[in-house]
Amino acid sequence: MSDKILELSHLAKKFGENEVLKDINLTVNRGEVISIIGSSGSGKSTMLRCINLLEEPTDGKIYFKGQDIQSKECKITEYRSKVGMVFQSFNLFNNMTALENCIRPQVTVLKRKRADAEKIAREFIEKVGMSAYVNARPSQLSGGQKQRIAIARALSMNPEVILFDEPTSALDPEMVGEVLAVMRDLSTTGLTMMVVTHEMQFAREVSTRVVFMDSGVILEDTVPEEIFTNPKEARTREFLTRILGTN
Amino acid sequence: MQFFKNVWETLVTYHSLLLEGLGYTMLIALTGTIIGLIIGIIMGIIRTIPRAKTGFGRVVQKVGNFIISAYVEIFRGTPMMVQAMVIFWGYAFIAGGNTLPLVPAGIFIVSINTGAYMTEIVRGGIISIDKGQFEGAHAVGMTHFQTMFHVIIPQVMRNILPSVSNEFVINIKDTSVLNVIGVMELFYQAEKIQSMNLQIFETYVIICVIYFIMTFAVTRILRFFEKKLSGKKNYVICGSQSDPAAEIRVMEDEGDVR
């Protein structure tokens, strides 16, 4: 039985006259790892940002476990604490150490006791292989290290879904691997993940579903093998040929 | 030399008045700067509240922002000496001749005047913070106030410290205008002293030097704190970026910040 965790229904987003998302319908089941691919400007990131309400949808609804997240009954801060987000630009808090980055949100948002929060934070920092750097400040970390701490921060909130917005796009090629390795590990834990990515190998090997977006609409939504070996739409074929080279 | 003799005699005779003036000047300037900064931070937090969803909320926000802008423009656009007169005698007018106690009145005037400048300084400080810091905080579920308190304001404080120090130094000098309502700060004391010893030049040279010593000392002390807060400009990270088990050591380079 599939267990619906997120549902986007006729979601649309306009920036002025510019229609970035048009009538997006997508259902995410618990435990799925969904890669969202497509060329720049296709609306992938905007869709993810709408799910977290960092952008306000102009039309349509988003349901989290059956509840409309824009309704009055839904507390947005509580919802956001259950739906983690990892950004392209990391967005670690510059005024805190790596450890404090993972503790403070738990204490302020989830009202956890500091000692408990620290234990949880250390656990996840260990999990992303950053234990040696707990006292480092963001400015002292490399991109890959920052991103791993950002993932640990998201995990520390014990979210039900984590949204990854191009988590490796701002990294040097040699640091991409360490972040993808962490995400690969996560994908085996049953955590629901939505990943906007340009890493086709990751999309193919790790995700349970791949969504291809083009000009603000979802063109294909299927299992990875299908989309990579037998894409239905001409646009998908064109995109994959371009990004994967000639094969 | 007659001049030095006169200066010396003035210092000996009137040192208690001078010290009292110096004390009030520092007290008013320091408290005024701190309260002004608090006003600035509060205004900054209010001004950055996300746009309200309901029509009523939006009206409240519009009115609030209008009041803040009016406050800033009026207090920045008029001399503090005039503000002192208007507030002090305005109160007396309304209160039927009762006047405000002088020192608290002085602190009040300097505070709201500084608050207007600080509001703009804090606004600049908030604008300069990367948008990602707000998004990172919102994404973990922090409210606007939590975001401001835990993430944004600490970073703003660090960035605006030089401007805040500058305001403090300006306030040390500008408290002199409070003599118009009779606050016993340094300038007021000088006026009193010169009316008694009739040595106008010598007396004002003395307080000139005292003002300079105060501002110079304060500037140096605050610069020391600025450096401490900013940390070192350069550092070298030792250890491996690919090996997570490698120890991280941060070696700080000597070097001036900014």
B69/B55 Cα distance (integer angstroms): 21
B235 token code pair: 């550092």
**A124 interfaces chain B, CB cutoff of 8 Å:** no
Region A38-62: what's the mean pLDDT?
93
Alpha carbon of A158: minimum distance to chain B alpha carbons (Å): 11
What pLDDT does residue B232 have? 53
Displacement of CA B238 from its chain's centroid (Å): 40
User: What is the pTM assigned to this prediction?
Assistant: 0.87
Which of B132, B139, B142 lies closest to A108 in CB terms? B142
A54/A142 Cα distance (integer angstroms): 26
Inter-chain residue contact A153 with B142, CB threshold 8 Å: no
Mean pLDDT of chain A: 93
Region A59-67: what's the mean pLDDT?
94
Which of A91, A108, A154 lies closest to B132 in CB terms? A91
Burial class (CB in 10 A: 0-12, 13-18, 19+), B250: middle
Which has the minimum average pLDDT: A59-68, B141-150, B165-174, B240-249?
B240-249
Q: Is residue A243 pLDDT above 90, yes or no?
A: no
Which has the minimum average pLDDT: A138-147, B52-61, B144-153, B180-189?
B52-61
B99/B102 Cα distance (integer angstroms): 8
B126/B159 Cα distance (integer angstroms): 9
With beta carbons less than 8 A apart as the criterion, state whether B213 and B148 touch: no
Domain boundaries, chain B: 2-232
Q: Is residue B235 pLDDT above 90, yes or no?
A: no
What pLDDT does residue A89 have? 95
Banded model confidence at residue B50, pLDDT cuts 50, 70, 90: confident
Query: What are the start-end ranges of the H helices in A83-214?
Result: 98-109, 114-127, 143-156, 173-187, 200-206
Which of B139, B151, B245 lies closest to A54 in CB terms? B139
Q: What is the 3-state secondary structure (H, E, C) of B15-28?
A: HHHHHHHHHHHHHH
Task: Determine what percent of chain B falls in helix, strand and coil, rounding each to the nearest 5.
Answer: 75, 5, 20
Region B43-68: what's the mean pLDDT?
90
Beta bridge partners of A35: A195, A210
Phi/psi for A164 (5° steps) reads -110, 115
Q: Is residue B256 pLDDT above 50, yes or no?
A: no
Which of A90, A132, A148 lies closest to B246 in CB terms? A132
What pLDDT does residue B247 have? 52
The H or E element that residue B166 is part of is helix B153-174
Region A70-79: what's the mean pLDDT?
91
Banded model confidence at residue A154, pLDDT cuts 50, 70, 90: very high
B129/B48 Cα distance (integer angstroms): 12
A29, A3, A77, A69: which is closest to A221 by C-alpha? A29
A132 token code pair: 């040696």
With beta carbons less than 8 A apart as the criterion, state whether A7 and A28 touch: yes
Q: Is residue B52 pLDDT above 90, yes or no?
A: no
Amino acid at B233: K
**A67 interfaces chain B, CB cutoff of 8 Å:** no
Banded model confidence at residue B248, pLDDT cuts 50, 70, 90: low
For residue range B5-14, list pLDDT tens digits in order.
999 999 999 9
Q: Is residue A42 pLDDT above 80, yes or no?
A: yes
Displacement of CA B165 from its chain's centroid (Å): 7
What pLDDT does residue B258 have? 36
Banded model confidence at residue A176, pLDDT cuts 50, 70, 90: very high
Banded model confidence at residue A207, pLDDT cuts 50, 70, 90: very high
Residues of chain A with C-beta less than 8 angstroms from the C-beta of B250:
136, 140
What pLDDT does residue B234 have? 47
Region B201-217: what's the mean pLDDT?
95
**Helix, strand or coil for residue B1?**
coil
Q: Among 1.10.3720.10, 3.30.43.10, 3.20.20.70, 3.50.50.60, what is the CATH number of B2-232? A: 1.10.3720.10
What pLDDT does residue B231 have? 61
A198/A189 Cα distance (integer angstroms): 23
B61/B50 Cα distance (integer angstroms): 10
Residues of chain A with C-beta less than 8 angstroms from the C-beta of B138:
54, 80
Alpha carbon of B242: minimum distance to chain A alpha carbons (Å): 7
**A78 interfaces chain B, CB cutoff of 8 Å:** yes
B82 token code pair: 């005039």
Length in residues, chain B? 258
User: Where is pLDDT greater, at A205 or B242?
Assistant: A205
B202 token code pair: 């010598």
A57/B231 Cα distance (integer angstroms): 42
Mean pLDDT of chain B: 89
For residue range A120-145, list pLDDT tens digits in order.
999 999 999 999 999 999 999 999 99
Q: How many CB contacts within 8 angstroms connect chain A with chain B?
A: 89
| DSSP per-residue letters across B69-126 | HHHHHHHHSS-HHHHHHHHHHHHHHHTTT----HHHHHHHHHHHHHHHHHHHHHHHHH
Region B55-64: what's the mean pLDDT?
91
Which of A105, A108, A145 lies closest to B241 in CB terms? A145
Q: Is residue B175 pLDDT above 90, yes or no?
A: yes
What pLDDT does residue B78 have? 96
Q: Is residue B237 pLDDT above 60, yes or no?
A: no
Inter-chain residue contact A109 with B248, CB threshold 8 Å: no
Chain B, nearest residue to A96 by Cα: B151
CA angle B103, B108, B114 (to 5 degrees): 125
| DSSP per-residue letters across A11-23 | EEEEETTEEEEEE
